[in-house]
Chains A and B, each alone.
Chain A
Amino acid sequence: MEVKHLTEHYDKDGYATIKGYQKLGGYENLKKALKMKPLDIINEVKASGLRGRGGAGFPTGVKWGFLPNNGEPRYLLCNADEGEPGTYKDRLMMERAPHQLIEGMIISAFAIGSPKSYIYIRGEYFYPKSIVEKALREAYDNGLLGKNILGSGFNHDMDIYSGAGAYICGEETGMISSLEGKKGQPKLKPPFPAIQGYLGKPTIVNNVETLAAVTLVIRDGAAAFRKQGTEKSPGTKLFSLSGNVVKPGNYEVPLGYKLIDLINIEGGGLKPGRKLKAVIPGGSSAKILNKEESEKATLDYECLAQMDTMLGSGAVIVIDDTNCMVDLLGVLMHFYHHESCGQCTPCREGTGWLEKLVNGIKSGQGKLQDIDLIETVARNMCGRTICALSDAAAFPAMSFVLKFRDEFEFFVREGRSKIKGTSYAKMHH
Chain B
Amino acid sequence: MFKLSNKGTEFVKNELSRYESRRSAILPCLTLAQEENGGYINAEIISYLAHLMDIPESQIQEVFMFYTMYNKKPVGKFHVQVCCNISCAMNGGRELVQHLTKEFRVNDGEVTSDGNFSFSRVECLGACGGAPMMQVNEEYHENLTPEKAVHVLKNMAKGNSHGS
The reply to whether A183 and B129 form a contact with Cβ atoms under 8 Å apart is no
Q: Return the contact of B86 from the options A183, A317, A425, A426 (Cβ within 8 A).
A: A317
Q: Which of the listed residues B22, B62, B87 has the most CB atoms from chain A within 10 Å of its own CB?
A: B87
User: Which residue of chain A has the shortest Cβ distance to B89 in the bound complex?
Assistant: A331
The reply to whether B89 and A88 form a contact with Cβ atoms under 8 Å apart is no
The reply to whether A124 and B126 form a contact with Cβ atoms under 8 Å apart is yes
Q: B134-163: which residues lie under 8 A (CB-CB) from chain A?
A: 135, 138-140
Find chain A residues with CB under 8 A from B89 CB.
327-328, 331, 426, 429
Q: Which of the listed residues B21, B68, B69, B129 has the most CB atoms from chain A within 10 Å of its own CB?
A: B129
Q: Return the contact of A331 from the options B21, B24, B27, B85 (Cβ within 8 A).
A: B85
Question: Given A85-B85, A86-B87, A86-B124 in contact, is the A165-B27 Cβ separation under 8 Å?
Answer: no
Find chain A residues with CB under 8 A from B94 CB.
425-426, 428-429
The reply to whether A331 and B67 form a contact with Cβ atoms under 8 Å apart is no
The docked-state distance in angstroms from the alpha carbon of A248 to that of B63 is 36
Q: A272-295: which residues lie under 8 A (CB-CB) from chain B?
A: 280, 284
User: Which residue of chain B has the shortest Cβ distance to A167 in the bound complex?
Assistant: B123
The reply to whether B84 and A331 form a contact with Cβ atoms under 8 Å apart is yes
- Which of A45-53, A239-247, A384-392 lines the interface with chain B? A239-247
User: Which residue of chain A has the shortest Cβ distance to B130 in the bound complex?
Assistant: A248
Q: How many residues of B contact A (CB 8 A)?
A: 45
Find chain A residues with CB under 8 A from B90 CB.
243-244, 319, 323, 328
Q: Return the contact of B85 from the options A178, A250, A335, A426 (Cβ within 8 A).
A: A335
Q: Return the contact of B125 from the options A124, A250, A332, A429 (Cβ within 8 A).
A: A124
The reply to whether A199 and B20 form a contact with Cβ atoms under 8 Å apart is yes
Question: Given A123-B31, A182-B23, A332-B86 in contact, is the A83-B139 Cβ separation under 8 Å?
Answer: no
Q: B83-141: which residues lie under 8 A (CB-CB) from chain A?
A: 84-87, 89-91, 94-95, 98, 121, 123-131, 135, 138-140
Say yes or no for B78: interface residue by CB 8 A criterion: no
The reply to whether A429 and B87 form a contact with Cβ atoms under 8 Å apart is no
The reply to whether B98 and A248 form a contact with Cβ atoms under 8 Å apart is no
Question: Given A166-B66, A178-B27, A181-B25 in contact, is the A127-B84 Cβ separation under 8 Å?
Answer: no
User: Which residue of chain A has the shortest Cβ distance to B68 in the bound complex?
Assistant: A165
Q: Return the contact of A240 from the options B59, B84, B86, B128 (Cβ within 8 A).
A: B128
Q: Return the contact of A88 from the options B59, B63, B127, B139 (Cβ within 8 A).
A: B127
The reply to whether A159 and B18 form a contact with Cβ atoms under 8 Å apart is yes
Say yes or no for B26: interface residue by CB 8 A criterion: yes
Say yes or no for A339: interface residue by CB 8 A criterion: yes
The reply to whether B129 and A240 form a contact with Cβ atoms under 8 Å apart is yes
The docked-state distance in angstroms from the alpha carbon of A85 to that of B20 is 32
The reply to whether B67 and A123 form a contact with Cβ atoms under 8 Å apart is yes
Report A244 CB to chain B, min CB distance, Å.
Answer: 6
Report B29 CB to chain A, min CB distance, Å.
Answer: 9
The reply to whether A248 and B25 form a contact with Cβ atoms under 8 Å apart is no
Report B88 CB to chain A, min CB distance, Å.
Answer: 9
The reply to whether B68 and A87 form a contact with Cβ atoms under 8 Å apart is no
The reply to whether B126 and A163 form a contact with Cβ atoms under 8 Å apart is no
Q: Return the contact of A284 from the options B24, B86, B125, B140 (Cβ within 8 A).
A: B86
Say yes or no for B70: interface residue by CB 8 A criterion: yes
Q: Return the contact of B87 from the options A165, A181, A183, A242 (Cβ within 8 A).
A: A242
The docked-state distance in angstroms from the alpha carbon of A164 to that of B67 is 6
The reply to whether B87 and A317 form a contact with Cβ atoms under 8 Å apart is yes
Q: Which of the listed residues A116, A183, A198 has the most CB atoms from chain B within 10 Å of its own CB?
A: A183
Report A403 CB to chain B, min CB distance, Å.
Answer: 16
- 13 extra interface residue pairs, beta carbon distance < 8 Å, beyond A183-B63, A317-B86: A85-B85, A85-B123, A86-B87, A88-B129, A162-B27, A162-B28, A181-B27, A182-B23, A248-B129, A315-B128, A327-B89, A426-B94, A426-B95
Partner-B contacts on A (CB < 8 A): 82-88, 90-91, 116, 122-127, 159, 161-167, 178-184, 198-199, 240-244, 248-250, 280, 284, 315, 317, 319, 323, 327-328, 331-332, 335, 338-339, 423, 425-426, 428-429
